[in-house]
Amino acid sequence: MFQKLIRHRFLFEELVKRDFKKKYKRTILGMAWSVLSPLLQLLVMTLVFTRFFGRNTPHYMIYIFCGNLIFTFFSDATKGGMGTIMGNAGIFTKVNVPKYLFLLSRNVQALINFGLILVVFFVFVAFDGLAFTWKFLCLLYPIGCLILFNIGVGMILSALFVFFRDIQYLYDVFTMLLMYMSAIFYNIDSYGETAQKLFLLNPVYLFIRYFRKIVIEATVPTVWFHLLMLADVAIALGLGCFMYKKYNTRFLYYV
């Protein structure tokens, strides 16, 4: 895989540039929207939910920011990755190139956007009076896992989208449900122990919870927490690679 990526490095770089130009085409602020959009969402959520959910939650703005940061990255990468095969059919039907290049280029764009927002997030953390410790280095683990998880989910969605176009509408409903089930703006401490454990079945919540434990609580999650996150990544990435390998030739007949 890495050898093919190096061999087609020029195409990969051009795909990343094209995705950026396409996303911000005919916008006045351009890349600034990568930061402004999640910040505006954060502002709205803070104003709306502080009165109802934030009274007993310390550092509530950072609490919401953690959830919004992770969920936006996940949603942006997976929704954008869904149409990568169909959107680039004109290329791989004429030139023999690995189809995962298109998905990876879309994920690189989402990662750059995430990096920009992450810088702003750390600025907010500093203004909120939270201390920066060595534990912040542990954030590299959930970020790395989330990147791989997004790629895996993107591969699954892009493969399904070739055969079932309805998946785009179903996924919109699913992401809306996932947003409410990821405890972005509310705290699950009031729920029973069983209910709190059920939240851990949601991979997105795991990533959000990891960020909150490091940034707000200044504690490193347990080993089993790390292993559970790694298991989610392995399942998503393994299933995605399997589908790409199995249906690689069939893609040509459906695009």
Q: How far is CA 181 from CA 51, 99, 177, 216, in A?
A: 20, 32, 6, 21
Helix axes 60-82, 203-215, angle to 10 degrees: 150
Give 81-131 pLDDT, tens digit per residue.
888 877 776 666 666 677 777 788 888 888 988 998 898 899 899 988 898
- Listed by start position, the domains of the chain span 2-254
The pLDDT value given to residue 92:
64
Q: Can you give the pTM of this predicted structure?
A: 0.87
Question: Quick check: 206 and 188 in contact, CB under 8 A?
Answer: no
- Phi first, then psi: what are they for 169, rounded to 5°? -75, -40
Radius of gyration over alpha carbons of the chain, in Å?
A: 19
The pLDDT value given to residue 71:
94
The pLDDT value given to residue 177:
94
Tell me which amino acid residue 141 is. Y
The pLDDT value given to residue 16:
67
Segment 129-139 mean pLDDT: 92
Question: Quick check: 158 and 111 in contact, CB under 8 A?
Answer: no
- Alpha-carbon distance of 194 to 203, in angstroms, equals 17
